[in-house]
Protein backbone atom coordinates (compact mmCIF):
# COMPACT_ATOMS: atom_id res chain seq x y z
CA UNK A 1 0.00 0.00 0.00
CA UNK A 2 1.44 3.36 -1.06
CA UNK A 3 0.87 6.35 1.22
CA UNK A 4 2.10 9.94 1.07
CA UNK A 5 2.72 11.75 4.35
CA UNK A 6 2.72 15.49 3.72
CA UNK A 7 2.74 18.88 5.37
CA UNK A 8 2.38 22.47 4.18
CA UNK A 9 3.41 25.94 5.29
CA UNK A 10 1.33 28.97 4.37
CA UNK A 11 1.00 32.73 4.73
CA UNK A 12 -1.97 32.31 7.07
CA UNK A 13 -5.00 30.24 7.97
CA UNK A 14 -7.53 30.69 5.18
CA UNK A 15 -6.99 30.38 1.41
CA UNK A 16 -10.38 31.99 0.84
CA UNK A 17 -9.09 35.24 2.33
CA UNK A 18 -6.03 35.34 0.08
CA UNK A 19 -3.56 33.26 2.06
CA UNK A 20 -1.22 31.16 -0.07
CA UNK A 21 0.78 27.96 0.11
CA UNK A 22 4.53 28.65 0.43
CA UNK A 23 6.01 25.20 1.10
CA UNK A 24 5.06 21.56 0.76
CA UNK A 25 6.95 18.46 1.85
CA UNK A 26 5.94 14.90 0.96
CA UNK A 27 7.31 11.54 2.14
CA UNK A 28 6.49 8.29 0.34
CA UNK A 29 5.73 5.17 2.36
CA UNK A 30 4.99 1.68 1.06
CA UNK A 31 3.52 -0.80 3.52
CA UNK A 32 4.21 1.73 6.30
CA UNK A 33 7.95 1.88 5.52
CA UNK A 34 9.54 5.03 4.08
CA UNK A 35 11.07 4.46 0.65
CA UNK A 36 13.38 7.49 0.54
CA UNK A 37 11.31 9.14 -2.20
CA UNK A 38 10.31 12.71 -1.36
CA UNK A 39 8.90 15.86 -2.92
CA UNK A 40 9.79 19.24 -1.43
CA UNK A 41 9.36 22.73 -2.80
CA UNK A 42 9.08 26.36 -1.71
CA UNK A 43 6.73 28.67 -3.60
CA UNK A 44 6.62 32.39 -4.23
CA UNK A 45 3.18 33.42 -2.94
CA UNK A 46 3.24 36.73 -4.82
CA UNK A 47 2.13 38.58 -1.69
CA UNK A 48 3.53 39.76 1.64
CA UNK A 49 4.39 37.41 4.50
CA UNK A 50 2.53 38.31 7.72
CA UNK A 51 4.82 38.54 10.74
CA UNK A 52 2.84 35.97 12.73
CA UNK A 53 3.19 33.39 9.93
CA UNK A 54 6.91 34.07 9.54
CA UNK A 55 7.41 33.48 13.27
CA UNK A 56 5.99 29.99 12.81
CA UNK A 57 8.01 28.79 9.82
CA UNK A 58 10.74 31.41 9.33
CA UNK A 59 10.03 31.87 5.61
CA UNK A 60 10.38 35.51 4.72
CA UNK A 61 9.07 37.38 1.71
CA UNK A 62 12.68 37.99 0.63
CA UNK A 63 13.56 34.28 0.88
CA UNK A 64 10.56 33.27 -1.23
CA UNK A 65 10.99 36.00 -3.84
CA UNK A 66 13.07 33.87 -6.24
CA UNK A 67 11.21 30.61 -5.66
CA UNK A 68 8.94 29.12 -8.38
CA UNK A 69 5.24 29.84 -8.52
CA UNK A 70 2.99 26.98 -7.46
CA UNK A 71 1.70 26.68 -11.03
CA UNK A 72 5.22 25.96 -12.26
CA UNK A 73 5.57 22.91 -10.00
CA UNK A 74 1.95 21.78 -9.77
CA UNK A 75 2.13 18.98 -12.32
CA UNK A 76 5.35 17.64 -10.84
CA UNK A 77 3.65 17.55 -7.44
CA UNK A 78 0.58 15.79 -8.84
CA UNK A 79 2.80 13.22 -10.55
CA UNK A 80 4.44 12.46 -7.22
CA UNK A 81 1.11 12.16 -5.40
CA UNK A 82 -0.26 9.83 -8.07
CA UNK A 83 -3.90 8.84 -8.39
CA UNK A 84 -4.34 6.14 -5.74
CA UNK A 85 -2.04 6.77 -2.77
CA UNK A 86 -3.61 7.62 0.58
CA UNK A 87 -2.61 11.16 1.62
CA UNK A 88 -1.85 11.54 5.32
CA UNK A 89 -1.54 14.88 7.12
CA UNK A 90 -1.89 16.29 10.64
CA UNK A 91 -5.09 18.35 10.73
CA UNK A 92 -5.49 17.24 7.14
CA UNK A 93 -8.44 19.47 6.21
CA UNK A 94 -6.14 22.49 6.55
CA UNK A 95 -3.49 21.08 4.21
CA UNK A 96 -6.03 19.77 1.71
CA UNK A 97 -7.80 23.13 1.73
CA UNK A 98 -4.67 25.01 0.71
CA UNK A 99 -3.49 22.36 -1.75
CA UNK A 100 -6.82 22.24 -3.56
CA UNK A 101 -7.16 26.03 -3.55
CA UNK A 102 -3.82 26.31 -5.34
CA UNK A 103 -4.73 23.56 -7.82
CA UNK A 104 -8.05 25.26 -8.57
CA UNK A 105 -6.27 28.56 -9.17
CA UNK A 106 -4.08 26.76 -11.74
CA UNK A 107 -7.06 25.21 -13.47
CA UNK A 108 -5.98 21.71 -12.45
CA UNK A 109 -8.10 18.92 -10.94
CA UNK A 110 -8.28 18.96 -7.16
CA UNK A 111 -7.20 16.04 -4.97
CA UNK A 112 -10.15 13.95 -3.81
CA UNK A 113 -10.97 14.15 -0.11
CA UNK A 114 -11.62 10.40 -0.29
CA UNK A 115 -7.85 9.98 -0.16
CA UNK A 116 -7.47 11.99 3.05
CA UNK A 117 -6.36 10.50 6.37
CA UNK A 118 -6.10 12.86 9.34
CA UNK A 119 -3.65 11.84 12.07
CA UNK A 120 -5.24 14.31 14.49
CA UNK A 121 -8.47 12.29 14.32
CA UNK A 122 -6.59 9.02 14.80
CA UNK A 123 -4.73 10.49 17.79
CA UNK A 124 -7.96 11.74 19.38
CA UNK A 125 -9.50 8.30 19.05
CA UNK A 126 -6.44 6.61 20.53
CA UNK A 127 -5.66 9.20 23.22
CA UNK A 128 -8.92 10.96 24.12
CA UNK A 129 -8.40 14.07 26.23
CA UNK A 130 -4.64 14.17 25.64
CA UNK A 131 -2.65 16.78 23.73
CA UNK A 132 -2.42 15.68 20.12
CA UNK A 133 -0.20 18.30 18.50
CA UNK A 134 2.69 16.93 16.46
CA UNK A 135 5.12 18.01 19.19
CA UNK A 136 3.06 16.26 21.87
CA UNK A 137 2.83 13.05 19.84
CA UNK A 138 6.57 13.08 19.16
CA UNK A 139 7.13 13.29 22.91
CA UNK A 140 4.60 10.54 23.62
CA UNK A 141 6.19 8.13 21.14
CA UNK A 142 9.84 9.06 21.67
CA UNK A 143 10.31 10.54 18.20
CA UNK A 144 13.38 12.80 18.22
CA UNK A 145 12.45 16.37 17.31
CA UNK A 146 15.46 18.10 18.88
CA UNK A 147 16.43 19.50 15.45
CA UNK A 148 13.02 21.14 14.99
CA UNK A 149 13.32 24.79 15.96
CA UNK A 150 10.78 26.09 13.44
CA UNK A 151 8.00 24.47 11.45
CA UNK A 152 9.19 23.12 8.11
CA UNK A 153 7.06 21.13 5.70
CA UNK A 154 9.54 18.35 4.86
CA UNK A 155 10.86 18.03 8.41
CA UNK A 156 7.34 17.92 9.83
CA UNK A 157 6.34 15.30 7.24
CA UNK A 158 9.33 13.18 8.29
CA UNK A 159 8.32 13.44 11.95
CA UNK A 160 4.69 12.73 11.12
CA UNK A 161 5.64 9.60 9.17
CA UNK A 162 7.20 8.18 12.35
CA UNK A 163 4.27 9.27 14.51
CA UNK A 164 1.77 7.81 12.02
CA UNK A 165 3.34 4.37 12.23
CA UNK A 166 3.29 4.55 16.02
CA UNK A 167 -0.35 5.63 16.04
CA UNK A 168 -1.24 2.55 14.01
CA UNK A 169 0.52 0.08 16.26
CA UNK A 170 4.25 0.69 16.12
CA UNK A 171 7.22 0.02 13.90
CA UNK A 172 6.64 -3.74 14.04
CA UNK A 173 3.85 -3.27 11.46
CA UNK A 174 6.40 -2.43 8.79
CA UNK A 175 8.45 -5.51 9.75
CA UNK A 176 5.31 -7.69 9.85
CA UNK A 177 6.13 -8.99 13.34
CA UNK A 178 2.78 -8.25 15.00
CA UNK A 179 -0.04 -9.82 13.04
CA UNK A 180 -2.64 -8.58 15.51
CA UNK A 181 -1.70 -4.95 14.89
CA UNK A 182 -2.53 -4.93 11.18
CA UNK A 183 -6.34 -5.15 11.52
CA UNK A 184 -6.24 -2.41 14.16
CA UNK A 185 -4.24 -0.19 11.80
CA UNK A 186 -6.68 -0.71 8.96
CA UNK A 187 -9.60 -0.02 11.30
CA UNK A 188 -8.03 3.22 12.57
CA UNK A 189 -7.53 4.54 9.05
CA UNK A 190 -11.00 3.40 8.01
CA UNK A 191 -12.57 5.36 10.87
CA UNK A 192 -11.00 8.62 9.71
CA UNK A 193 -11.58 7.95 6.01
CA UNK A 194 -13.62 4.88 5.02
CA UNK A 195 -12.84 5.41 1.32
CA UNK A 196 -9.12 4.88 1.94
CA UNK A 197 -9.62 1.15 2.57
CA UNK A 198 -11.23 0.08 -0.66
CA UNK A 199 -12.06 -3.57 -1.21
CA UNK A 200 -9.63 -5.27 -3.54
CA UNK A 201 -10.33 -8.40 -5.63
CA UNK A 202 -9.04 -11.63 -4.10
CA UNK A 203 -6.35 -13.44 -6.03
CA UNK A 204 -5.81 -17.17 -5.92
CA UNK A 205 -2.56 -18.16 -4.17
CA UNK A 206 0.29 -19.07 -6.46
CA UNK A 207 1.54 -22.70 -6.42
CA UNK A 208 4.64 -22.90 -4.25
CA UNK A 209 5.42 -26.62 -3.92
CA UNK A 210 8.51 -27.86 -5.75
CA UNK A 211 7.90 -29.79 -8.95
CA UNK A 212 9.27 -33.30 -9.62
CA UNK A 213 11.93 -31.81 -11.91
CA UNK A 214 13.00 -29.30 -9.24
CA UNK A 215 13.23 -32.04 -6.58
CA UNK A 216 15.34 -34.18 -8.91
CA UNK A 217 17.65 -31.26 -9.71
CA UNK A 218 18.04 -30.54 -6.00
CA UNK A 219 18.95 -34.18 -5.28
CA UNK A 220 21.64 -34.08 -7.99
CA UNK A 221 23.04 -30.87 -6.54
CA UNK A 222 23.31 -32.41 -3.07
CA UNK A 223 25.43 -35.25 -4.48
CA UNK A 224 28.08 -32.66 -5.40
CA UNK A 225 28.55 -31.47 -1.83
CA UNK A 226 31.49 -32.84 0.14
CA UNK A 227 30.92 -33.67 3.78
CA UNK A 228 27.70 -31.70 4.27
CA UNK A 229 27.27 -30.58 7.84
CA UNK A 230 23.91 -32.30 8.25
CA UNK A 231 25.67 -35.67 7.97
CA UNK A 232 28.17 -34.85 10.73
CA UNK A 233 27.60 -35.87 14.33
Binding residues for substrate: 7, 9, 52, 57, 156
Point out the annotated binding site: 7, 9, 52, 57, 156
Name the catalytic one among 40, 90, 151, 218. Answer: 151
What is the distance between the alpha carbons of residues 205 and 53, in angstroms, rounded to a whole number? 54
Known catalytic residue: 151? yes
Point out the annotated binding site for a divalent metal cation: 7, 9, 156
Phi-psi region of 39 (alpha: psi -120 to 50; beta: other; left: phi over 0): beta
Residues acting as catalytic residues? 151
Amino acid sequence: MREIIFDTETTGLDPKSGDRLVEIGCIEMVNRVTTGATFHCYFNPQRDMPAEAERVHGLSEAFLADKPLFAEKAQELLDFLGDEAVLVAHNASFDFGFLNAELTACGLPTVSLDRMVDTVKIARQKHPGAKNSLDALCTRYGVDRSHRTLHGALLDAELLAQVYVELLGGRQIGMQLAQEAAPQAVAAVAQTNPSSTRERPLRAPRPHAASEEELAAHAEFLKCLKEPIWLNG
